Amino acid sequence: MIKLIGFDLDNTLWPVKPAIIHAEQCLSDFLQSLHQDVRYPHPDTMAYRKALIEADPSLAFRLTAFRRALLINVLSDVPGLQNQAETLANQAMSLFLDARSQVQPYQSADRVLTTLSARFSLCALTNGNADLSKIALGRHFAFTRSAEDVGAPKPEPALFLEALKIAKCQPSEMIYVGDDPALDVEAARSLGIFTVWFQSPDAKKPEVEPDYHATIHELDELPTAIERIEQC
């Protein structure tokens, strides 16, 4: 019996690109307002990134911590802002994360989640840093966990195992829905979790299709796909 439905977020419940573009613009506007010498995007961003990740490899998936560290470096280069760099970086990150969570869900997302949450416990498992508590869809979810929360990104098993532990269910009692063939579908299936591959209009098309239990092209198709899995 299925007890838990897990969801990826970006490009599964909403298109991520518009949200990131908006958040980057808000961040740039804020930084430019601080001082005329602030350069963002910074020309040395790639060098900063390499140095930061070499010093702390976990920053490769701790997206919020990485961006905060990057901003501290950028602001420390500006005369007169060095002593305020950490405080200003925290302010900038707060603004960025608010804007990052101003997403536009796919048209049927709320309706489908309303239907499913009446029958199942729902959870969100993401490598990203959107804040479900700031998004209307968040009310449908029993819990959410990110790669930063568990110390490892998908396709590592930590996020899935954490969800199973919280929900107190077995892999065969969970279905996971996501757009990424490797990070979502194959990672979950390798643990014995049922999978639904959402061929999102905003996701890259894979060269090779993943091994899935069901596939959908619109979220409206999800309840029927879940019913088919339950009948297996």
pLDDT tens-digit series, residues 33-92: 998 888 887 777 788 889 999 999 999 999 999 999 999 988 998 888 989 999 999 999
- In what helix (H) or strand (E) does residue 161 lie, and over which residues does it extend? helix 158-167
Locate tokens 């239907």: which residue? 115
- What are 138-159's pLDDT values in tens digits? 999 999 999 999 999 999 999 9
- Per-residue tokens: 171: 């892999």
Classify burial at 199, counting beta carbons within 10 Å of its beta carbon; exposed 0-12, middle 13-18, buried 19 or more: middle
Nearest to 5 by CA among 207, 226, 212: 226
Averaged pLDDT of the chain: 94
> For residue 99, is pLDDT > 80?
yes
* pLDDT value of position 49: 85
Q: Class assignment of domain 18-100?
A: mainly alpha
Nearest to 202 by CA among 1, 6, 4, 17: 17
For 7, the 3-state DSSP assignment is strand
CA distance 182 to 100: 24
CA distance 132 to 14: 12
* pLDDT value of position 90: 96
How many CB atoms are located within 10 Å of the residue 191 CB?
A: 14
Mean pLDDT of 82-104: 95
Locate tokens 């961040």: which residue? 27
Mean pLDDT of 214-230: 97
According to CATH, the topology of domain 4-15+104-230 is: Rossmann fold (3.40.50)
Which residues of the chain are in CATH 1.20.120.1600 domains? 18-100
Considering the chain, what percentage of its residues have pLDDT values greater than 70?
Answer: 100
Which residues of the chain are in CATH 3.40.50.1000 domains? 4-15+104-230
